[in-house]
Structure 1
Amino acid sequence: MKTCLATIILILSFCSVNLYAQEIDTVPFNTKGMDIKLKRSPLPSRQGPLNFEPVNIKPLVVNAKVNYWKTKTNIGINVNQAQFSDNWKGGGTNSVAVGGTVNYKAEYNKNNYSYVSEVILQYGKVKNKDQLQKKTNDRIYWDNKASFQLSKSWFFFGSLNFESQFDNGYSYSRNGDGQEVATLISKFMGPGYITESIGFEYKPVNYFSTRIGTGTARQTLVLDTTLYRTNSKNFGVEPGKKFRNELAFQIVSSFDKDIFKNTNLKARYNMFIPYEDISGSRIDHRLDIALTAKINRYMNTSITGVILYDKDTDAKVQASQALSLGFAFTFPR
């Protein structure tokens, strides 16, 4: 009996030791900050020599070219039409108006050199019932400028531009019978302007620049020598002659930026001061403004205006304004 009791006590003791050992094994032990090193294996190890062999890799040739040119073309077409029945009591006149614009700009930039060529073509006509057809817009403008960067915002430039119109221009009056009469007052190259300029350009940001043309020459051409009969000033050219040359100081400021989402404001101011009359009585001013709002991918609306003061054409300030809604296409999109 005593032997059996001793055996049971021995078995229970052995089991309790095993349980205690298992509990100890499961207790987490923090080894942070302790320098524990693994014992190096006493078994010898040998590493053979590494053999490197040259491998011929064919060079990868990328067939890519850097294009220093950026081009953009805008084409706009505007059509307006109104028609009334013969018994329409609200009053009105049947009319059809068509207009078109083409703006092309090419820009080259490489290192400190840049070249910009810009073409603006505008033409429009309106025809009212029982009246002669009339122009609503007519302009040819081509500007070329090459520049070399001197500092972050200053450039030395040289420019050449040409300006004229496509079609004959008329003034309108009525004769004794009440009929409308057109009198020719301008035409293609009557007048035409060619302007060369060199100087310095200030361009602090991409959308604004000012050219200061200290050396500027402008040629005014009136190839039809009979225009002086209906235009007494003859655009500053002596009657009977076709050409006039002027040396001047010129300032040209340009602004072109999206001021709101899908709304662009473009403005250009030109001041021309002839050296022969530096006092200021014959300073020419011209301001062109165009505000264009994009309706969708193919339609937009725009309002344009021109303010001109040129004593060689008229002693008073001249102004024009147009509001249009039409189709617009831009390349590349």
Structure 2
Amino acid sequence: MKKLLAMGLTLGLFLTASAQETETDSIPNGWKTDGNIQLLFNQSAFNAEWTGGGTSSIAGNLNLNYDFNYKMDDFTWDNKILANYGLTKVKGDDFARKTSDRFELNSVAGKEINNSNFYYSWFLNFRTQFAKGYEFSEDAETGETIRTETTHAFSPAYLQTGPGIMWKKGDDFMVNLAPATARFIFVDKAFTSGPEYMDGDYFGVDAGEGMRFEFGASLTALAAFDIVENVRMENSINLYSNYLDKPGNVDIDYLMNLQMGINEFLSANLLFQAIYDDNAVGAFQIREVFGVGFNYKL
């Protein structure tokens, strides 16, 4: 908990300093929506005479970033949907493989405290994936690729919710600290059954169970700003400490989205994500996606 509070204080000071450089947004009452869809492509090709080495491949990523926010006087309700799905196909490989697969909904409602930038808040975060995930291996006798299903939609799925205190300055700077957060991890019981399964092997869920309950503290923060004209960076981070089991092992989910506009319909995009979840893997999971593609503003 002390680590989480220290991280929250440091991040809050950073966001406050950043926000002080901009004017406070004058947000009118009512609904405000904003978002975009991006289709990114990556491709490489080599002919038979190419001597430098390399394998032809093609990859695509579909990204959705959509905000729908509501304000009425001293009450705000901010919602964000983040979704992405990507595949890559390498020449000679039997299967196309996922490069990204994520659906996330963030929602936080706040009641302003005494005309300040602080709010009483309640937040909800939901995360899962769209399609099946596999581990790949090779048949020792035939050399054929074997894929074993390890995940699918809603297995796992994460739900966090709880009350807290939010600091907010406009739509682009926010920190929410929720010291009494309920967290649920949902999985398919098919993955936790069988004589070979041990408690906690599958995203921390016990043998034969389909859900794990945790209770702890959560910190969520957002910082978005324009670096130069047509180049915008969005940063979001979620920290979670489970009071009931190893509270010192703080789960981290950081996402950076760098959008570089070329024109109204073409853009370059860089995604970087770092996840630490002791229930899944006791190490950082790193994902990076870069591509050029089509952009459609919602």
Query: TM-score of the superposition, structure 1-length normalised?
Result: 0.75
- One-letter amino acid of the structure 2 residue matched with residue 147 of structure 1: G
Equivalent residue, structure 1, for 2:4 = none
Describe the SS at the equivalent of 2:203.
helix
How much does 1:103 deviate?
1.2
How much does 1:67 deviate?
6.5
Describe the SS at the equivalent of 2:208.
coil
Equivalent residue, structure 2, for 1:166 = 130
Of 182, 185, 207 in structure 1, the residue corresponding to residue 172 of structure 2 is: 207
1:221-240 alignment, distance < 5 Å: 221-226=186-191, 233-240=201-208
Alignment partner of 1:327 is 2:294? yes
Alignment partner of 1:86 is 2:48? yes
Q: 1:133 to 1:224 in 2, by over 3 A?
A: farther
Q: Distance in 1 between matches of 2:65 and 2:281?
A: 29
Describe the SS at the equivalent of 1:86.
coil
Residues 254 and 274 in structure 2, CA contact (< 8 A), matched pair in contact too: yes
- One-letter amino acid of the structure 1 residue matched with residue 108 of structure 2: K
Aligned residues: 265
Alignment partner of 1:261 is 2:229? yes
- Greater mean alpha carbon deviation, residues 134-143 or residues 201-210: 201-210
When Rg is computed on C-alpha atoms for both structures, the one with the higher figure is 1
Identity %: 26
- One-letter amino acid of the structure 2 residue matched with residue 217 of structure 1: A
Residues 69 and 108 in structure 1, CA contact (< 8 A), matched pair in contact too: yes
- One-letter amino acid of the structure 2 residue matched with residue 303 of structure 1: L
- Greater mean alpha carbon deviation, residues 105-114 or residues 170-179: 170-179
- Runs of 4+ residues deviating >4 angstroms: 227-232
Residues 192 and 208 in structure 2, CA contact (< 8 A), matched pair in contact too: no
Q: Deviations over 1:25-81 (max 9, x none)?
A: xxxxxxxxxxxxxxxxxxxxxxxxxxxxxxxxxxxxxxxxx8611111200001223
Query: TM-score of the superposition, structure 2-length normalised?
Result: 0.83
Describe the SS at the equivalent of 1:317.
strand
How much does 1:253 deviate?
1.1
RMSD: 2.0
Q: Distance in 1 between matches of 2:64 and 2:247?
A: 38
Residues 190 and 224 in structure 1, CA contact (< 8 A), matched pair in contact too: no
Q: 1:230 to 1:73 in 2, by over 3 A?
A: farther
1:37-186 alignment, distance < 5 Å: 68-131=30-93, 132-150=95-113, 151-176=115-140, 177-186=142-151
Q: Distance in 1 between matches of 2:64 and 2:154?
A: 20
How much does 1:206 deviate?
4.2
Residues 192 and 205 in structure 2, CA contact (< 8 A), matched pair in contact too: no
Q: Distance in 1 between matches of 2:127 and 2:227?
A: 28
Residues 133 and 149 in structure 2, CA contact (< 8 A), matched pair in contact too: yes
Describe the SS at the equivalent of 1:87.
coil
- One-letter amino acid of the structure 1 residue matched with residue 37 of structure 2: I
Q: Distance in 1 between matches of 2:215 and 2:280?
A: 18
Residues 248 and 274 in structure 1, CA contact (< 8 A), matched pair in contact too: yes
Residues 225 and 241 in structure 1, CA contact (< 8 A), matched pair in contact too: no
Residues 192 and 209 in structure 2, CA contact (< 8 A), matched pair in contact too: no
Q: Distance in 2 between matches of 1:80 and 1:294?
A: 17
Q: 1:194 to 1:97 in 2, by over 3 A?
A: same
Residues 170 and 183 in structure 1, CA contact (< 8 A), matched pair in contact too: yes
Residues 185 and 227 in structure 1, CA contact (< 8 A), matched pair in contact too: no
Residues 285 and 308 in structure 1, CA contact (< 8 A), matched pair in contact too: yes
- One-letter amino acid of the structure 2 residue matched with residue 295 of structure 1: I
Residues 29 and 73 in structure 2, CA contact (< 8 A), matched pair in contact too: no
1:293-312 alignment, distance < 5 Å: 293-312=260-279
Q: Deviations over 1:96-138 (max 9, x none)?
A: 2121011111111110011112111100101111112100110
Q: 1:103 to 1:205 in 2, by over 3 A?
A: closer
Q: Relative contact order: is structure 1 or structure 2 higher (C-alpha 8 Å, sep ≥ 6)?
A: 2
Return 5+ residue gaps in structure 2 as ranges.
Answer: 1-27
Q: Distance in 1 between matches of 2:130 and 2:284?
A: 23
Equivalent residue, structure 2, for 1:62 = none
